[in-house]
């Protein structure tokens, strides 16, 4: 079974330029997450989708970041314009909503996109 797929793996851009990251979750997983991981830190949630709906985007800097998951499968995260402080690894994860009382399901991560803003 294929894991979470992300592209590109690496991206170098100049500040003020736009950038986009793409994620394809594990087949059948209805929940998709975007995380940002700064150097030497753990991942931090940016946005969580359940199917097409963004159910938690409280940590997404909405002035410059946007995300979409139009058909409830793959997703795109965009930054426009990028700033120096956006340099980080952007991770996508997916999980299968098991329902019931256990709200947080096991999450499986992709390899990430390492963004460098010059």
Partner 1 sequence: GENVEQHPSTLSVQEGDSAVIKCTYSDSASNYFPWYKQELGKGPQLIIDIRSNVGEKKDQRIAVTLNKTAKHFSLHITETQPEDSAVYFCGGATNKLIFGTGTLLAVQP
Q: Which residues are near partner 1 by CB under 8 A?
A: 4, 6, 40-45, 48, 56, 91, 102-104, 106-112
Q: How far is the CB of 32 from partner 1 (least distance, A)?
A: 14
Contact call for residues 5 and 24 (beta carbons, < 8 A):
yes
- Whichever of 66 and 109 has its CB closer to partner 1, that residue is 109
Q: How far is the CB of 16 from partner 1 (least distance, A)?
A: 27
Q: Which residues contact 58 (CB under 8 A, 6 or more apart)?
A: none
β-pair type (53-56, 113-117):
unpaired
DSSP symbol at 108: E
Contact call for residues 72 and 52 (beta carbons, < 8 A):
yes
- Whichever of 80 and 98 has its CB closer to partner 1, that residue is 98
- Whichever of 2 and 104 has its CB closer to partner 1, that residue is 104
Q: Is 11 helix (H, G, I), strand (E, B) or coil?
A: strand
Q: How far is the CB of 106 from partner 1 (least distance, A)?
A: 6
- Whichever of 72 and 111 has its CB closer to partner 1, that residue is 111
């Amino acid at each position: 079974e294929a894991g979470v797929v992300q592209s590109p793996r690496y991206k170098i851009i100049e500040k003020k330029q736009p950038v986009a990251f793409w994620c394809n979750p594990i087949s059948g997983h209805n929940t998709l997450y975007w995380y940002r991981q700064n150097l030497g830190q753990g991942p931090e949630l940016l946005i969580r989708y359940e199917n097409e709906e963004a159910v938690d985007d409280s940590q997404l800097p909405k002035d410059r970041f946007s995300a979409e998951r139009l058909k409830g499968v793959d997703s795109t995260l965009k930054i426009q314009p990028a700033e120096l402080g956006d340099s980080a690894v952007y991770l996508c994860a997916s999980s299968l909503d098991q329902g019931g009382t256990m709200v947080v399901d096991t999450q499986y991560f992709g390899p990430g996109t390492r963004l460098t803003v010059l």
